[in-house]
A and B are shown apart, each in its own frame.
Chain A
């Protein structure tokens, strides 16, 4: 099953992310240590690891929500540095979904979705609304378009957040623990949305502990600990045959209960 759906998901040769020797400190704390990572267009990467291992920091460096101090990060051929223009350009091409959704509570669902296309892409309002409705249908909640985020369940809010990112038609989606703040009964609807996105060939990097999701859609699983990438394997290999002791410990803790 996993293999059959994976074949539909084409990985290309085109490099979308290139991180080399990236280091980052919070004050004196060395949070990312010598990160080297290459992601091709169409790849689905799952990053896991214990809390505080730098997973979120890593993906937040990819759209400059966090600043790295040394090393090079290139996204879509654009180098992330202090040039605001580059950062703006990258943010237009990279969508991000957060643990706590970060929807704008004072705007309706539709306005949440059309905001960036209108103000960043300078799209006419009618076009932006058409696109927003398309993606709201895609995440199966077009009927909620005129409600406010506070009127929706957690799972629905997270699907809106995914639709909101998709409205910018990004080349790459970053997911920062998208299901961690959800009630158990709502996790599935969000994961289903993410799976269907993966099946359509979207490049994705997900920080998540949903190992079922990793098995199903990831073509690489990355395990991080203490700011380093410790193990990087295809999912079957990763779960059945982990090499590093810390990976084994981590897997035993999250799978054996």
Chain B
């Protein structure tokens, strides 16, 4: 029996290979390059396609031209060495009194080699440079170890890098032996212990219901004070190293110190501020909001000026703390405010159900945050976090405004050296500084992409 007007399939439709425009190299070329510029069906489409082809060719030409110009300046035409110790004359053209052909335009790398130590470490005494090298080597090994996959004790190394390493680096770089009084440190530690015990009593409910909720804060502040003073105590020990004041630091060293301190401090501070801003306790929330809005509302330059010029005016005579430390604190608080808003964005993306799921199982507020909410929220905002880190790294150049010579500041003062005065002097050192900044920022960017991929693979949603 046949039913002519009903179509009934009697066998499966065959699975066919995709057309050439969908797969393979041809498909890729078609979809990414030719599809937009190969429509000649009508006059309008043909004009559009022709325009697209010409425009693409122009862009390719400009790209190649500019890249070649840069390679030519930095590598092909560059002067690489100064074997005879001619200094500026090695980069002079015949017209200028040197030996290079007229119209020569290239980088004068011997100038950079000569200024290398200054650009990296500023006026740091040469015989003490091993201390910087040691800090950098330990730091790089630790960093790679903590960030690399599949290395044993990754976590522990990471924790050491965040706790012990800054202390080690500080002692190595400054020489330790600060003049803090051990009595004062002792008093502070007792204050910290007192705060912790008050917090414990509060948590146990001896001091009323409202206090029980604030007990955690007392504990945190107490431990903070103790940790700070233990650090002060260790730093005050005499390790028999020649003291090098921060006034003698400079160049890349300053850039790294400011950027790393800012990066390391801004994330935890930012997380605490973000949680505080979303807190249901109005006092905490308002205080955090005011803090964030204040620091976001002022330019970093203003913060640095306030820290280095205005602050000493308000402090009593004789109280003077380090110029670099003041700038560091300014940068830290400034970036913490930005970080707080990035983290808050991540917190807002977390579904209410996640909180409820955690609460219903009996997890406390801090457990919920630490185990459930923050791991997800921070994963969501990795691009934003790294963006803030990169911005911070580059903003460190602003400290040269308050007389701290970071990489850029050191480079600029190197330009003033008449012994190397050539037309390409400034452009060479800026290129050099640019390359260094790029390496660091690009590295952070790549690591962020790597983290994103890794996390999205293991947590397929």
Contacts and interface: CB of A to CB of B under 8 A. Distances in A.
A213 interface: no
Contacts of B375: 106
A82 interface: yes
Contacts of B379: 106
B362 A116 contact: yes
B156 interface: no
A115 interface: yes
A84 B356 contact: no
A22 B461 CA distance: 40
A116 B361 contact: yes
Interface stretch (A71-79, A91-99, A183-191): A91-99
Interface string A87-113: 010011011101011111110000000
User: Which of A119, A148, A168 has the most B CB atoms < 10 Å from its CB?
Assistant: A119
Nearest to B376: A106
A105 B459 contact: yes
Given A65-B356, A148-B459, A151-B460, A168 B209 contact: no
A55 to B, nearest CB: 16
A83 B209 contact: yes
Interface string B383-420: 00000000000000000000000000000000000000
A26 to B, nearest CB: 15
Given A105-B376, A105-B459, A88 B362 contact: yes
B361 A165 contact: yes
B459 A88 contact: no
B357 A102 contact: yes
Contacts of B372: 104
Contact of B354 (A83, A91, A96, A104): A104
A208 interface: no
B458 to A, nearest CB: 7
B265 interface: no
Nearest to B353: A102
A91 B360 contact: yes
A63 interface: yes
B363 A148 contact: no
Contacts of A91: 359-362
A100 B353 CA distance: 8
23 contacts: A65-B359, A65-B360, A82-B209, A84-B212, A85-B205, A88-B364, A95-B360, A96-B360, A98-B353, A98-B357, A102-B351, A104-B358, A106-B379, A119-B367, A119-B371, A148-B460, A150-B459, A151-B460, A164-B361, A165-B360, A165-B361, A168-B361, A168-B362
A120 interface: yes
Nearest to B357: A102
A106 B361 contact: no
User: Which of A85, A94, A102, A168 has the most B CB atoms < 10 Å from its CB?
Assistant: A102
A84 B362 CA distance: 11
B459 A120 contact: no
Contacts of A92: 362
A83 B213 CA distance: 10
Contacts of B351: 100, 102
User: Which of B212, B351, B371 has the most A CB atoms < 10 Å from its CB?
Assistant: B371
B460 A120 contact: no
Given A84-B212, A119-B371, A164-B361, 13 more contacts: A65-B359, A84-B213, A88-B364, A91-B359, A91-B360, A100-B351, A101-B353, A102-B356, A120-B362, A148-B459, A150-B461, A151-B460, A168-B361
User: Which of B353, B357, B358, B363 has the most A CB atoms < 10 Å from its CB?
Assistant: B357
A244 B212 CA distance: 48
Nearest to A96: B360
Nearest to A94: B360
Interface of B: 205, 209, 212-213, 351, 353-354, 356-364, 367, 371-372, 375-376, 379, 458-461
Nearest to A88: B362
B361 A120 contact: yes
A151 B458 CA distance: 10
Contacts of A85: 205
Contacts of A82: 209
B260 to A, nearest CB: 28
A88 B367 CA distance: 13
User: Which of A65, A96, A116, A164 has the most B CB atoms < 10 Å from its CB?
Assistant: A116
Contacts of B362: 88, 91-92, 116, 120, 168
A65 B372 CA distance: 17
A168 B363 CA distance: 12
Contacts of A65: 356, 359-360
Contacts of A101: 353
Interface in A132-148: 148
A102 B363 CA distance: 14
Contacts of B354: 102, 104
B356 A98 contact: yes
Q: Rank and list the top 10 A-B pairs by shortest CB-CB distance, nearest first.
A: A102-B357, A91-B362, A116-B361, A102-B353, A96-B360, A120-B362, A150-B461, A92-B362, A150-B460, A106-B375
Nearest to B205: A85
Nearest to B372: A104
A88 B365 CA distance: 11
Contacts of B360: 63, 65, 91, 94-96, 98, 165
Nearest to B361: A116
A13 B205 CA distance: 34
Contacts of B212: 84
A83 B361 CA distance: 17
Contact of B363 (A95, A106, A119): A119
A143 B459 CA distance: 18
B361 A115 contact: yes
Nearest to A161: B357
A197 to B, nearest CB: 17
Given A88-B364, A115-B371, A116-B362, A103 B357 contact: yes
A43 B444 CA distance: 58
A103 B354 CA distance: 7
